[in-house]
A and B are shown apart, each in its own frame.
Chain A
């Protein structure tokens, strides 16, 4: 269900970007979704299409980039995939690791038709 809130926020954000760049119709948008966000792409696009009906966003294609959960070790510098956890570092055992990717929920691009 959180996809509905996210889709509404996305529609608002795309509309703001569209107006800031002189209007026109929205052809496509680019979205990044991190692995840890538990967002189902089909549900998100379904809600987006629904909310976009009758607006200049109607029919926009949504390109979703899935971002793999990744962490970096502050000890040895190793960057590694961290699907269900990121501690300790698989190489040196340090717990001074930080998440570098996987929490994204970003709008990265909007394509307009003029």
Chain B
């Protein structure tokens, strides 16, 4: 007997992601899924960005790693709530694990949650976590050819941070080729060149994050009459 089926193999993850999305919407919390290769600088980026978002935005972090709590400890020093998500070998985060992490955060007291994915630019692209937007981070040291080699991720990004710009003169990173390959996959995502070492360019990215969060923020109570 042959049974016809047509269902995404990742339908289970998609259902869990939808539950996360509904929870975040109800709590008026914005979630950004931060994706990059290992060593591109996700944690350094958070160390730069989180202090600049405060106190205007109340930030929490879900810190995904295959093993060790080192990144979670680094982010914890920023004084924001952090939940370390360990995949124990898994190369990406899935929505069910994110849901468990969110349950450990007091969402009532947060406006924004960064979900720092496991360092990997292939697998995380396939798994919806219920986030509002995927934010990619590519460091110039990794090379300009990454969009063409990982089309799924770069086609789905809402924004791309181009990191380690202070190293640009020491690399063969071809900005023209990079932009042309990226725009072949993604016409709209803004690109934020920056350096976490110098702080150059970080402000523009912080401004974008604030704009992403604004629609979800509760109306200012200061203006209310009741």
Contacts and interface: CB of A to CB of B under 8 A. Distances in A.
B181 A13 contact: no
Contacts of A114: 1
B7 A106 contact: yes
Contact of A85 (B1, B5, B122, B185): B185
Interface string B1-13: 1111111111111
A61 interface: no
Given A36-B151, A85-B151, A105 B8 contact: yes
A17 B10 CA distance: 15
B187 A95 contact: yes
B130 to A, nearest CB: 16
Interface string A1-41: 11011100110110001000100100000010000111000
Contacts of A84: 147-149, 151, 181, 184-185
A71 B6 CA distance: 21
Contact of B13 (A9, A86, A99, A107): A9
A45 to B, nearest CB: 13
B9 A87 contact: no
Chain A facing B: main interface SS: mixed
A108 B184 CA distance: 30
Interface string B50-70: 000000000000000000000
Nearest to A83: B151
A9 B91 contact: no
A107 B2 CA distance: 13
Contact of A17 (B3, B12, B89): B3
B95 to A, nearest CB: 11
A5 B90 contact: yes
A90 to B, nearest CB: 10
B3 A111 contact: yes
Given A9-B9, A84-B184, A36 B155 contact: yes
Contacts of A10: 9
Contacts of B12: 9, 12-13
A1 B152 contact: no
11 contacts: A6-B10, A13-B5, A13-B7, A21-B1, A24-B1, A84-B148, A85-B185, A105-B126, A110-B3, A110-B5, A112-B2
Interface of A: 1-2, 4-6, 9-10, 12-13, 17, 21, 24, 31, 36-38, 69, 83-87, 95, 99, 103, 105-114
